[in-house]
Structure 1
Amino acid sequence: MRYYLLEPLDTLFFRDGSPFNAGETGQMEVLGTFPPSPTTVVGALRAAFARRLGWQYGDWSEDIKKKLGDGADLGPLRFSGTYVAKDGEPLFPVPLHLLRSGRTLVFLRPGEAALSTDIGEAQLPEISTRTKGLKPLEKAYLTRRGMEKALRGETPDPEDVFEASELWSGENRVGIQRDPDSRTTNEDALYQTTHVRLKKGVALAAGVEGYEGEAPGLLTLGGESRMANLKPCELSLPEAPSLEPGGGSLRYTATLITPARIRDEGWRKPGGALPGLPGRVVSACVGKPVLIGGWDTEKKKPLPLEPYLPPGSTWFMEAEAAKPDEVKEMHTRHIGDKREWGYGQILIGGWR
C-alpha cells in the first residue's frame, strides 16, 4: 500500500445531501461535509492517475481501463482512507465509547447485567464513574499514539485529542449562476455555500494499492474543481494491542475509522455478528448514519444517497478463547460493501 497526502491549495467544498436547486428561496446555505467520503477521493485520484497516463477528455482508453478500472469497477486498484493528517501524521476519529467531561476521559463498557430492550436481552454500555456532563467526542480525532492507548483500554493524553475546530474552519461563500453563452444572470441565481479551510499542517491522506505510476502532482478535488497537491508520504496505522483471553472467552472491540455500509443486520443485535469477524456482538456504541452519494460520470448526475455507519462506531465482541490470531488478522482490514474503495476499515482493540 502506497500512501499519498492531498494538500489543498485553497478552500474545499464537498456537498452533503442538502437540496441545492435554483429558485428555492428557503435555501439559505449549503453547509457541505468534511472529511470527504472515500468515493470522492477515489474519484479524484483515479482521474489524476488517468491524466498522468495521457487521458485528456472523453472516455478512457482500453489501456487506461486495464490499469485503473472502469466506472464502479476499480480493476487492480484498492484504496484505504480517507484520513485526516496533521504534520504528516494520520489522525483517527475518536471511538464513540470514549466520553469526555472537561479534561476527564472515561470509557463505556458493557454492563454485567442484561437488560430487556426492544431488540432483546442486551448488555448496554455503562460507566463506572459519577462524573457529570460526559459526552461522546463526535467531532474529535486521536493521534496514532492516542488511538493505540484507546485500543488498549487506556485513557489517551489530552494532547493526543484534536477537536475538529483545531483542524479546519468553515468559510461562507456567495456565488451567482451565470449563463455561459450570454454571460448574464437571472433572478433566483444567488447561492451560498460553506467551504472548508484546513489549518496549517493539516491535509487529507489516502492509501493506494495497484497503481505503480508516478504521483501526478496537482489534481482537482471536490466541488468547483479546487486544486490540491498530491505527493507520496509515509503513513503508519495504529498497532493492535495484545489480546489475552479471560474467563474462557476472548473479548475485543472493533472500531470503524472509515464509513461502512453493512447490509447484514447482525450488527444491530446483541448475539449477532459482524461480517468477517469471529464471535458475537455483546454491545455497541454506534453513531448517527451519514448519507453518502457520489457522481455518475456516465449519466452526469448525482448518485442516490445511502446511509453509512459513521467512523468511530465501536462494537464490543466476544469470541472463543482460541481465536486471538484470527481476530488480530482483521486489524486495519475492511468489512461491509465497497471495501476496495476504502469503506469499512476497522481497528481491533481489547475490553474487559
Structure 2
Amino acid sequence: MFNLQAEKLEYLSQKLEHLKICLSDIKLATDNFSEACKIASLNGLTLYRAEVDHFDIENHPSIEGKNAGDHPKIHNTIVITRYPYGPDTDGEEFFTQIEMLSSVKHPNIVTLLGYCVEGFEMIIVTENVSNGYLSDYLEKVNSMHILTWEKRLKICIDVAHALRYIHYEMENQKAILNCDISSYNIGLDENLKAKISNFGFSVFISPNQEALYSNRSFGNIYYIDPEYEKTGMLKRESDVYSFGVVLFEILCGRMAGDQIYKESDKRLAPLARQRFCMGTLEDMIDPILKDEIGENNFVLNGGPNKDSLHTYIEIAHKCVAETQDQRPTMEVVIRELEKAIFIQVSLCS
C-alpha cells in the first residue's frame, strides 16, 4: 500500500464509501488502461475515457444500504484519472482532488462520480467533457476556428462563475483557492460549456480569510501569481491572475507556454501588460479573430465587435496586474465579461 495517510483513508471510508469503485471494474472499462482509451498525459496523470455501462453501480456492494440519491447521477461516458503510484507516493494531490470535488456543486465544475484506492492504484472518476479541454484547441491553430468570439466569451464567463462560487458562494463556511487555473484544467462539454476539472493543488480557507502563506509549488509556471512567487502569500486574487492568463490565451489563440512568447523572453502576462501600455496589444490578437473584424466596427463570421473586444481586453489586463491589490474580484470580472458579450450579441443580432 502506498503512503496515503491513515486519516485520509479513514475519511474516504467514512464519508465517501458510496463512491468507491473496484479496480477490476475500471480495468474492464479501460481495457486494462489501453492506449485506445487514453486521452491525455499531463504532470504524471494519465486520463482515460470509458463507457459507464462497464460499471455495475446499482448492484455495487459499496453502496448497499445507501439511499438512491447518495450516488451522483450516472453519465454515459466518464473520465478516469490515474494518479502516479509507488512506494514514495503520498497521495496528497489525489486526496485533495477528491476532498475538493466532493465539497462543491456547480454546473461549471466537473462532477465527482467515484474513486478507487487499491494496491498502488489511485484513481478518480469524473463526468466526461466530450469536447476535450481548452488547451486542445489552443495547441491546434485550426481548432480555434470552431471557437467564435461569442463562444470564447461564454467559456470565459463559465469559468468566472465557477471561480466566484468557490471564492464566495460555498456553503458550510468554506471557500477554496484553486491554485491551478489553466487551459489544461478547463473541460468543455457537448455544448462547449466550460467546467473546471482540477483541484489537486487547491486549499480551503474560511470565507472571511483574505490570505494564507504557503511555500508549496503550485500549478504551471506560466499561470502562477508573481506576488505569490515572491512572498508566498496566496489570495483569491492569485486565482484571478491565473484566470487572466487564460483570458489572454483565448484572446491570442495560443497557449501561455507557446514558443513565440519564449522567444520574446517574457511570459504571456508580462508581455500582454507591456503591449497594453504601449498600445500594441492588438498585434497579439488571434489572427482568426482579426480576420473577422471588418472596418468601421462591422463584424464578420461571428468575430468580435470592437467595443466588446476592448471591454474584454481592459478586464483581462486588470486580472494580470503585477500586484494582488490591483486585481479585481471575480464579481467585477463577471460583470465586465457579461458586458462584453451583451455588446457582442446585441450589435450582431
> TM bucket by the smaller chain?
under 0.3
Greater RCO (Cα-Cα under 8 Å, separation 6 or more): 1
Quick check: which has more Rg, 1 or 2? 1
State TM-score, norm by structure 2.
Answer: 0.21
| Higher strand fraction (1 or 2) | 1
